Amino acid sequence: MEKGNETFVSGFILQGLFNQAGHEGLIFSLLLFMYLLSLLGNLLIVLLIHCDAHLRHTPMYFFLSYLSLADVGLASSIVPITLCNLVSRDKILSYGGCLSQTYFLLAFGNSDNFLLTAMAYDRYLAICRPLHYAALMNIKSCLLMVSGCWLLAFLQSLMYTLMLSRLSFCASREIRHFFCDVNPLLRLSCSDTTPIEMVVMTEGMLDILGPCTLIVVSYGHIFLTVMKTPSSSGKLKAFSTCGSHLTVVILFYGTILCVYLLPASENKTLPSLMYTVVTPMLNPFIYSLRNNEMKGALRRLIGQMRMSHNNWK
């Protein structure tokens, strides 16, 4: 339907991953494998933590369980639609589907963002304020922090989605990306995008750089505190408790800063794939392979399952 020089379209055409002509089967198989691995790993972490009373009541693992849920949501908002487009001829995503994907992408991505900051604060209190840690990081405080992270993330996502829903789009429907996001949609719009671009430049940058700065400050204090520890074993133990989280932080912010701070002309397929698919897949391995408590919880769960199986015989 046309009105003046504008065309109101019912959907968008997603460009896809890389130059996929002739390689759809290989890309489909790799992407499906990574997605299933991400689901299995993250849901296993959630199961282990919520089935183990000790882990469930430890703030670091409490936050980790919700970070894993956010990773499941982040990957699930992107990968299933991308897989469908790989086997589809028209590769069209409806207007409502595009806005929904943008909403959940931003919501779960921001949940990751805020939860990683909460986890850095938890490590800061554990190492720099050990005498006050138990009082400050009780279960009520953890619940409030997690609730605040999720609520703020979903409200911010709603704000962006509502602003995008008020835009009109031109005749060109091709999104030069493999999923719907704010910036690709702004480039297709015939409307005045100045207000939302201002929001992206101000609130959006604060949304990324603010938590990132808080994490850097937290680890700066942690580093200074650990360096004052006289024993080498104490330093090693302190750094080992932060190693997994710091690795995830570097992966997450390294890729997300490339996606949202690189010039629009740059090809962002690879960093976007890292941010939405690869990082959620790697997180469970980073936390479980480096963590004896997670390994112990897995062994106990397997033991309980074997006992239950033997009792049924």
Query: pLDDT value at position 15?
Result: 79
Residue 186: is its pLDDT beyond 60?
yes
- Which backbone phi and psi does 20 adopt, to 5 degrees? -90, 0
Residue 24: is its pLDDT beyond 80?
no
Q: Which residues contact 257 (CB under 8 A, 6 or more apart)?
A: 208, 212
Three-class secondary structure of residue 31 per DSSP: helix
Query: pLDDT value at position 227?
Result: 86
The answer to whether 167 and 149 are in contact (CB under 8 A) is: no
Q: pLDDT class for 266, splitting at 50, 70, 90? A: low
Q: pLDDT class for 161, splitting at 50, 70, 90? A: very high
Residue 265: is its pLDDT beyond 60?
no
Which carries the bigger pLDDT value, residue 116 or residue 172? 116
Looking at residues 284-298, what average pLDDT do you find? 79
Q: Which residue has the tokens 């399952």?
A: 305
Q: Which residue has the tokens 């060109």?
A: 172
The pTM assigned to this predicted structure is 0.89
Residue 115: is its pLDDT beyond 90?
yes
What b/e readout covers 46-72, taking b as 16+ CB neighbours within 10 angstroms?
bebbeebeebeebbbbbbbbbbbbbbb
Q: pLDDT class for 177, splitting at 50, 70, 90? A: confident
- Percent of the chain with pLDDT strictly greater than 90: 43
Query: pLDDT value at position 29?
Result: 92
Residue 106: is its pLDDT beyond 50?
yes
In angstroms, rounded to a whole number, what is the distance separating the alpha carbons of residues 74 and 68? 10
Q: Mean pLDDT of all residues in the chain? A: 86
Q: pLDDT class for 214, splitting at 50, 70, 90? A: very high
Residue 7: is its pLDDT beyond 50?
no
